[in-house]
Structure 1
Amino acid sequence: MTSAMTTLTFDRSAAPARLAVADDRAMLKAAAEATRDLNTPNAAIYWGDLIASALVGYAALVGAVTVASTGWTVVLAVVSMLALYRAMSFIHEVSHMKHANLPHFRAGWNVLVGVPMLIPSFMYEGVHNLHHAKTRYGTSEDPEYLPLALMKPWTLPVFILVSALAPVGLLIRYALLSPLSLLVPSLRRAVVERYSALAINPHFRRRMPEGEAKSLWNRLEAACSLWALALVAMVATGVISIRAFAIGMAVAAGVAVVNQLRTLVAHLWENEGEAMTVTAQYLDTVNVPPPALLPMLWAPVGLRYHALHHLLPGVPYHHLGEAHRRISALLAADSPYHKASYRGMPGLVWKIAKSTMVTR
């Protein structure tokens, strides 16, 4: 769903144009050549990781709801949140993969995660690829970009806090807006354009789906709407207790907040709309490689190598670590490649927050 930040108007001072960064062709060539054998996904890894993450997430959620101890409820809720966050993160892989290479994986992901969590794959497919378009990245046409580092300091906490409302927004989207939009054509267009994308750019508008994409969209939306209505009905009739519902919503909110924190540090957010070279886009993006350990939790499924992913979007998540090792060993210490690597989340948050405090 388009972020709740669409209701905000960001007041930011004009920033000077970024200096043009020429493409480092040696880096781009070396990265491509060193990883040619890493473009094939391993189906066993994908399916095993997804199924295990989903099972752990749902089992821990059931445990959190059923145990009497408050302490164990909190522990199990955190475990559930982290596992479901990992399972949810496969939507990024779904948006990039050639589905013929992993038959039925998109359908399996939607059954296990997309529909239950009310984030069907169509909310990212057809959206995320625009973020990777060379002429769109960092511009007003990029659905996943805002110049956060150039905005006012208050925008960063708001950016994080509004994400906690995502589960409520998704429930409204599918339990209320989906059925109503079938009766009101003008509402249908607004729902598709403004409330059907995992985007942070408040100016982004989706196109109406067509052909095969429309058929898949309609099936997934119907499934999500039925599940959302059933969930509301079960809570209203007492089949699901208020406590259980509240714990489930808290876990979903935790997933959304952690994902938003990861989003905050996925880029440096220093571009204010001009087109950028591939190298400039890379340097505006972030890798958090080993030896840091916590990124395994807050940037799972290869998202800790986000800058590398922008260079090589076709490399499956389970090969990104090897790709990073090869490229790091191949390129000289002064290569721009190494400049996109950071130690962890706290330093990145401070870097972006400090940039918002600069008077422009």
Structure 2
Amino acid sequence: MLRSAVDLTRDLAEARPGIYWPDMLVSAAIGYGSLALAILTQHIGVAIAAGVVAAIALYRALLFIHELTHIHKNALPGFRFAWNLLVGIPMLIPSLMYEGVHTLHHARTRYGTADDPEYLSLALMKPWSLPVFLLTAVLLPPALLFRFAILTPLGVLFPPLRRFVWERFSSLSINPQFRRRPPEGAFRRMVFWQELGASAWAITLLGSTYFLGWRPLLIIMAVQAFAAVLNQLRTLVAHLWENEGEAMTVTAQYLDSVNVPPPAFLAPVWAPVGLRYHALHHLLPSMPYHALGEAHRRLHAHLGGQSTYEQASYPGLFMLLGRLARNTMRKD
């Protein structure tokens, strides 16, 4: 299966700037425009509708952070800098929160183990763990604000605090046992500038309440919380979460991951930027998001509907949530 995936998709492996740049920029523009409307309007219905549009658009723009961890550093000149400047830092999720962390999830000897920062055996937990896991996303905006506006400046004065914050509050991980190693080399310099920018912006946001009141900041945080819940919902169905911590074969890792191919028409909303093909992404981690649909079609045609490849495909979000919930109930 892996050999077929590589052989059939060699011509799709190049990241296309003509797709990446417009997609990211238009998503960000729609998101910020809708967010401004939500803040400025006095009509509650318009504010809610604009806030929903802003959350969905900014969620899509934010998920380009996933692409930044996989594309070659020379593939899209300036894209990482522009994304951080326009999306990552304003949303207080600079790429340092994912780069150097997500690739550990793809390490073949780490996936699904205690050393995987992005894996929890959710299917083996208690039923109440799922709503708790989902609702903790609501706390992300105030947590990020506190991390960059308060803890980052204090970390300059107190190095032990900085080490603690880096180890535990500097990655988009779901494994509470994960401890991040100190940054090194060129990445360390990038972390410095990203933290400086995010800290300055977080302090500015807090300071704006003195002049503008709390309403704009609370709307911003509500939009970000909605986007975070969407991402947490996507995370719940990105894998089956059935591994108990032991190392897994490549095939087992693939089958523990999930594709939601067409005709699931809502998948591009809750799993944008190619993440509806999450199992395929684990086969071909460096494949650009815009090529995953064509790669899936080729593999489906070549391997057939009864192949191992097709066993990772599911019809939609609610079916996957139901399966996960039933598994937790069996463990209760």
Q: Under a length normalisation based on structure 1, what TM-score does the superposition of the two structures give? A: 0.91
Task: Tell me the residue number matched to 1:20.
Answer: none
Residue 271 of structure 1 pairs with residue 243 of structure 2: yes
Aligned residue type for 1:53: S
Residue 156 of structure 1 pairs with residue 161 of structure 2: no
359 and 300 in structure 1: CA distance in 2 versus 1, 3 angstrom threshold:
closer
Task: Tell me the residue number matched to 1:286.
Answer: 258
Q: Secondary structure at the match of 1:96?
A: coil
Distance between the aligned counterparts of 1:55 and 1:161, measured in 2?
28
Whether the aligned pair in 1 keeps the contact of 2:84 and 2:94 (CA below 8 Å) is yes
Whether the aligned pair in 2 keeps the contact of 1:91 and 1:124 (CA below 8 Å) is yes
Q: Which runs of 5+ in 2 are unaligned?
A: none
Q: Which runs of 5+ in 1 are unaligned?
A: 1-26
Distance between the aligned counterparts of 1:105 and 1:213, measured in 2?
16
Whether the aligned pair in 2 keeps the contact of 1:61 and 1:77 (CA below 8 Å) is yes
Deviation at 1:333, TM superposition (A): 2.5
Task: Tell me the residue number matched to 1:175.
Answer: 149
Distance between the aligned counterparts of 1:65 and 1:309, measured in 2?
37
Deviation at 1:317, TM superposition (A): 0.2
Spell out the pairing of 1:243-254 with structure 2 (5 A cutoff): 243-254=215-226
Deviation at 1:359, TM superposition (A): 3.8
Deviation at 1:245, TM superposition (A): 1.5
Whether the aligned pair in 2 keeps the contact of 1:130 and 1:143 (CA below 8 Å) is yes
Among candidates 196, 207, 213, match of residue 222 of structure 1? 196
Aligned residues: 332
Residue 107 of structure 1 pairs with residue 47 of structure 2: no
Moved beyond 2 Å, runs of 4+: none
Deviation at 1:186, TM superposition (A): 0.9
Instruction: State the Cα deviation string for residues 295-350 of structure 1 (Å, max 9, x = none).
Output: 11000000000000000011100000000000000003221100111111111011
Whether the aligned pair in 2 keeps the contact of 1:193 and 1:205 (CA below 8 Å) is yes
Task: Tell me the residue number matched to 2:31.
Answer: 57
Distance between the aligned counterparts of 1:322 and 1:263, measured in 2?
23
Aligned residue type for 1:275: A
Distance between the aligned counterparts of 2:169 and 2:45, measured in 1?
37
Distance between the aligned counterparts of 2:2 and 2:59, measured in 1?
32
Task: Tell me the residue number matched to 1:4.
Answer: none
Distance between the aligned counterparts of 2:4 and 2:193, measured in 1?
43
Whether the aligned pair in 1 keeps the contact of 2:125 and 2:331 (CA below 8 Å) is no
Aligned residue type for 2:306: D
Distance between the aligned counterparts of 1:333 and 1:303, measured in 2?
21
Among candidates 168, 174, 186, match of residue 160 of structure 2? 186
Distance between the aligned counterparts of 1:202 and 1:85, measured in 2?
24
Aligned residue type for 1:270: E
Spell out the pairing of 1:29-40 with structure 2 (5 A cutoff): 29-40=3-14
Deviation at 1:28, TM superposition (A): 1.4
Task: Tell me the residue number matched to 1:86.
Answer: 60
Deviation at 1:244, TM superposition (A): 1.6
Among candidates 257, 276, 283, match of residue 311 of structure 1? 283
Q: Pairwise CA RMSD of aligned residues?
A: 0.8
Distance between the aligned counterparts of 2:185 and 2:287, measured in 1?
28
Task: Tell me the residue number matched to 1:19.
Answer: none
Task: Tell me the residue number matched to 2:214.
Answer: 242
Spell out the pairing of 1:343-358 with structure 2 (5 A cutoff): 343-358=315-330
Q: Secondary structure at the match of 1:249?
A: helix
Deviation at 1:149, TM superposition (A): 0.1
Distance between the aligned counterparts of 2:262 and 2:75, measured in 1?
29
Identity %: 58
Distance between the aligned counterparts of 1:179 and 1:56, measured in 2?
32
Q: Secondary structure at the match of 2:281?
A: helix
Task: Tell me the residue number matched to 1:300.
Answer: 272
Distance between the aligned counterparts of 1:105 and 1:295, measured in 2?
25
Task: Tell me the residue number matched to 1:121.
Answer: 95
Deviation at 1:134, TM superposition (A): 0.3
Whether the aligned pair in 2 keeps the contact of 1:99 and 1:105 (CA below 8 Å) is no
Distance between the aligned counterparts of 1:261 and 1:75, measured in 2?
20
Distance between the aligned counterparts of 1:31 and 1:317, measured in 2?
15
Distance between the aligned counterparts of 1:332 and 1:121, measured in 2?
38
Aligned residue type for 1:171: L
